[in-house]
Amino acid sequence: MVIVLTESHEKIKAGGKVGPGKYVCLDCGKEYTLDAVEQDLRKCPACSCEEYQCLPMTHIRPDIKNSDDVLNPPKRGKSNQ
């Protein structure tokens, strides 16, 4: 499985469920990587900030469109039969 970071960055507040990605604290710059789907985003353990810049993870494969596809990827080519 190949994962890359996209160029779109959005600000996310702590306290909600988020998807996989890299989250950078807006106050101290500490980076946290979450790899589970619908994981709780907590306050920054370093400075207690509640706002992050989000760099979501996406897949290069065009047939991977959601978390179910990641867990059970569509079969491709003869090598996957």
Question: What is the full DSSP assignment across 2-61?
Answer: -EEE-S--EEEETTSEE-SEEEEETTT--EEEE-STTEE-PPPTTT---EEEEEEEEES-
Tell me, what DSSP letter sits at residue 80?
G
Q: What is the pLDDT of residues 10-24, one digit of tens each?
A: 788 998 888 888 889
Task: Please state whether the predicted TM-score (pTM) of the whole model is above 0.85.
Answer: no
Neighbours of 48 (CB within 10 A): 12
What letter would DSSP give residue 77? T
| Residue written as token pair 């710059």 | 29
Percent of the chain exceeding pLDDT 90 equals 23
